[in-house]
Amino acid sequence: MFGMTYVSNFKSIRFFSIISFLILISCIIPTEQTKDDLYIKLEKEIMCPVCDGQTLDQSQSLIAEDMKNSIKEKIAEGYNEEEIKNYFVDRYGENVVAYPSTTGFNLLAYLVPILGLILSILIFTFYIRRQKVG
């Protein structure tokens, strides 16, 4: 009886592991972007320079509309994502990009939360082990 339960649990664990792996792989594999996909992505990653904390897709200002039109023109001319972002960074500064680059000091914005989470888990684990012993 116990052996059947073990086999059943092993099969379900294996099934969920395979499904999780396939989902993870589908997130990693790059897909080809169409021009519309690129436009939508850039619209969500470029900030409006005159609006407080709004990306271009959220903003209704005139400058945001001009920037959206510039993105469409650049895509039609064959510019790639990085070239378009660099164009706006050159014109409006580094703050126009919604997500900071992962170089230099900006790397801390990505590493600190991860390191904090790992440190919290370690402290919690040691605390629980100490409670069990005492």
Please state the pTM of the whole predicted model.
Answer: 0.59
pLDDT tens-digit series, residues 21-43: 888 777 776 666 688 889 999 99
89 and 39 inside one domain: yes
pLDDT tens-digit series, residues 103-128: 788 888 888 999 999 999 999 999 88
64 and 84 inside one domain: yes
9 and 55 inside one domain: no
From the centroid of its chain, how far is CA 71? 21
Residues in the chain: 134
- Quote the domain boundaries for residue 22: 1-30
- CB atoms inside a 10 Å sphere around CB 116: 10
pLDDT tens-digit series, residues 47-68: 999 988 899 999 999 999 999 9
26 and 69 inside one domain: no
Residue 44 confidence class, pLDDT cut points 50, 70, 90: very high
46 and 86 inside one domain: yes
42 and 85 inside one domain: yes
- Residue 64 and residue 56: Cα distance in Å, rounded? 6
Q: How many domains does the chain have?
A: 3
Angle (CA) 85-57-64 rounded to 5° is 70
- Cα distances (Å, whole numbers) of residue 66 to 60, 117, 131: 10, 41, 61
